[in-house]
Structure 1
Amino acid sequence: MGSGLVNVAVDISLMTLLAVTAIGIIRSRHLFATAMLSGIYSLISAALFVTLDAVDVAFTEAAVGAGISTVLMLGAMTLTRRSEKHAVKLHIGPILVCLAVGAALIYGTVEMPPFGSTEAAGFKHIVPEYIAGSRDDIQVPNIVTSILASYRGFDTLGETAVIFTAGIGVWFLIGRRRREDEEDEKKTETPGDRA
């Protein structure tokens, strides 16, 4: 009973930190602070995934969300201004769309089984197949590894390709910007500067 209360307290603390960080991201106008807060948000999410016993997802969130995404955002910042322009007008349309989608999502979860319930459809149909297949077909003792590497192999490959493509794109953009800066410097040099 005591450890259950500790787990609930840790989960509530992490969710509170996530909410505070999200509000900080929304309110920040400085792009560097936003990029850093996004990395912090990903690290807190990874900690939350660990408390939910989803260590593989936590590793992915820490590596991709806090690591690669933060580096890509910082790289993209070299091509933009350091701070966001202040919005002059509040648009009510996007707010209404967000509220409508949020209400639809909440309505869709009303009749779902409780979290971790053995009555969920996945536990009745998919999970037994994965457990038996991991042991009999793939012969990998770690079920999570067998799912990520075999059953979801193409999905994992696609995620890796997306991350690789994004990294290469940022690398090309940064290289192009540096070449443009060098060309601008050469154009502004006077003949006396070269001597």
Structure 2
Amino acid sequence: MQYTGACQCGAGTFSIDECTPDHSWPTSRPLWYEPHINCTACANQFEIEQRSGDFVLVEKTRLEEQEQKRHAARTALEAAEGHASVIEVKKIAAGLLDNAGSVSAAHRLATQHNLDDSTIGTFRRHWRGGEVFMRGLRLSALKSAFTWVGVDSKDFDQLIEEYRRLDEDATRPPQAFAAPFHRLKRNRF
């Protein structure tokens, strides 16, 4: 047991267990913490989050809002990826890569136009054709694909800006209810 203390309303407790694996094999996380809310009223209102070495209470309503923000960001990403101009660019670029003549030539094209930064060996191992390559293309590389194939990216730029704004908001942790109620004596992470 790492910590036990009174809960927010005083009718129960918060506890934090320090856990280790039940085996001797090396693991990436040889130590972790499991927080518990031992009060029905507080458990209905809060969740405990670990943020580095601090444990904070976060209201469940804020966590629900955060999930709605994540959903909005995913929806914006899907809208961007499904936009007609993106589909057109991916189709044209896939055809250009497939018609390059060899996997090495496709790699040179992809690298030259900032669609890929892998080594030729990695590119060869993962090459399954232009369509599969373009389907897995990172969002950040799509702008380069627009430039390469000569398609206007104005609509795409607006969609991506909207996605980035929503994603930035969605990845920001929800505001804590109060100051941390427990700090690890030594931050082990």
State the TM-score, normalized to the length of structure 1: 0.25
Higher relative contact order at CA 8 Å, sep ≥6: structure 1 or structure 2?
Answer: 2
Higher strand fraction: Structure 1 or Structure 2?
2
Higher helix fraction: Structure 1 or Structure 2?
1
State the TM-score, normalized to the length of structure 2: 0.26
